[in-house]
């Protein structure tokens, strides 16, 4: 099932650990992903109260649990160095940004600067999660799975989709599945129903990637191509939509004017006029029958 809902968390881990996950979720994932393997190895680099590790051990799976609260820092220490072997499944359940703060609140007396629940802003969190996922990837056997359990967060009218940011930063060829997990203890989101346009977020995602063979540099290369294609595609669609607005045909000067009025993309790219010309020339979507005038093909 790609949708999971377990109101009961079971006897594993600690029910009082804020933001814990039901052990049944791990049980189902282990049955599905590790069930056919002879000697499955599972790694949770942010194990919290240890729910996943207890479930794994009960199922006879070799399991390694790490966490900042016992001195392992996913932003500074290599997972595979810490465990001594790669896993068939390397799954984390990170904090989502600052929804629940861990160091200094759930554990320890002081805030830890590398605690993922203490990032300065969303961008800081996205960057750090990316690093955490690359660390997890390195700790995954080729053909094995890595990923995370994470939700989205709406606050002050802004909806941040952490899972979408993670997917966008990792190699598309490795994305293997996105599962939905119902959240039964999402009380921290509580606001009176009548005041909300949109429903409470009552679910999290389990985002899974399958590690292909290939070095980190090959992955980075693929990711750079991915980003490049996306950027080019964005320019193509900006120019297309502007031409649509201009009736399907317009002189270059009008196209420049309309693009600069319709997007703030040009603030970050000083050679935007050149980019528009390049885009018009590159794609078969655009034709020019008279000098300096472009239309939709």
Ligand X SMILES: C[S@@+](CC[C@H](N)C(=O)[O-])C[C@H]1O[C@@H](n2cnc3c(N)ncnc32)[C@H](O)[C@@H]1O
Closest residue to ligand X: CB criterion: 48
By CB under 6 A, name the one of 41, 43, 46, 53 that touches ligand X. 46
User: Whose Cβ is closer to ligand X: residue 86's or residue 117's?
Assistant: 117
Residue 74 binding ligand X, by CB under 6 A: yes
Cα separations in angstroms, 272 against 115, 251, 266, 295: 39, 16, 6, 19
Residue 72 binding ligand X, by CB under 6 A: yes
User: Could you tell me the smallest distance in angstroms from the CB atom of residue 89 to ligand X?
Assistant: 14
Cα separations in angstroms, 103 against 53, 59, 116, 200: 21, 30, 9, 27
User: Whose Cβ is closer to ligand X: residue 69's or residue 254's?
Assistant: 69
Residue 279 binding ligand X, by CB under 6 A: no
Stretch that binds ligand X, among 69-77, 154-162, 192-200, 225-233 (CB under 6 A): 69-77
Q: How close are the terminal C-alpha atoms of the chain, in Å?
A: 45
Looking at residues 110 to 129 of the shown chain, list those that interact with ligand X (rule: CB under 6 A): 114-117
Rg (CA), the chain: 23
H helices within 139-186, ranges in order?
162-169
User: Whose Cβ is closer to ligand X: residue 11's or residue 221's?
Assistant: 11
Consecutive H or E run containing 136: helix 122-138
Consecutive H or E run containing 62: strand 62-65
By CB under 6 A, name the one of 27, 53, 61, 67 that touches ligand X. 67
Residue 136 binding ligand X, by CB under 6 A: no
Return contacts of 261-268, CB within 8 angstroms, 24+ apart: 262/238, 263/238, 265/234, 265/238
User: Could you tell me the smallest distance in angstroms from the CB atom of residue 296 to ligand X?
Assistant: 49
* Contact between residue 42 and residue 30 where contact means Cβ atoms under 8 Å apart: yes
User: Could you tell me the smallest distance in angstroms from the CB atom of residue 72 to ligand X?
Assistant: 6
Residue 147 binding ligand X, by CB under 6 A: no
By CB under 6 A, name the one of 28, 49, 136, 163 that touches ligand X. 49
Alpha carbon distance 106, 48 (integer Å)? 10
By CB under 6 A, name the one of 5, 6, 62, 75 that touches ligand X. 75
For the chain, what's the residue count? 297
User: Whose Cβ is closer to ligand X: residue 205's or residue 235's?
Assistant: 205
Residues found near ligand X in the complex (CB under 6 A): 13, 17, 19-21, 45-46, 48-49, 51-52, 67-69, 72-75, 93-95, 102, 114-117
């Amino acid at each position: 099932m790609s949708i999971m809902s377990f109101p009961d968390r079971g006897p594993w881990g600690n029910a009082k650990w804020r933001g814990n996950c039901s052990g049944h979720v791990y049980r189902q994932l282990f049955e599905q992903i590790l069930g056919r393997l002879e000697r499955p190895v599972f790694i949770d680099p942010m194990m919290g109260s240890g729910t996943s590790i207890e479930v794994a051990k009960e199922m006879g799976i070799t399991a390694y649990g790490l966490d900042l609260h016992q001195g392992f820092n996913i932003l500074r220490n290599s997972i595979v160095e810490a465990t001594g072997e790669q896993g068939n499944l390397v799954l984390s359940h990170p904090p989502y940004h600052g929804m629940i703060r861990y160091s200094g609140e759930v554990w320890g007396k002081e805030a830890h600067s590398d605690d993922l629940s203490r990032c300065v802003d969303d961008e800081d969190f996205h960057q750090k999660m990316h690093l955490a996922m690359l660390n997890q990837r390195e700790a995954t056997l080729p053909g094995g799975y890595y990923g995370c359990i994470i939700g989205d967060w709406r606050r002050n009218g802004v909806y941040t989709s952490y899972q979408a940011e993670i997917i966008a930063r990792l190699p598309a060829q490795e994305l293997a599945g996105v599962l939905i997990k119902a959240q039964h203890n999402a009380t921290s989101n509580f606001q009176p129903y009548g005041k909300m346009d949109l429903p409470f977020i009552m679910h999290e995602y389990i985002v899974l990637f399958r590690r292909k063979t290939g070095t980190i540099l090959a992955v980075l290369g693929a990711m750079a191509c991915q980003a490049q294609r996306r950027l080019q595609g964005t320019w193509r669609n900006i120019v297309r939509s502007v031409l649509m607005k201009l009736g399907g045909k317009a002189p270059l000067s009008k196209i420049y004017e309309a693009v600069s009025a319709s997007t703030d993309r040009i603030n970050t790219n000083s050679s935007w006029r050149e980019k528009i010309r390049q885009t018009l020339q590159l794609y078969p979507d655009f034709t020019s029958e008279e000098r300096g005038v472009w239309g939709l093909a």
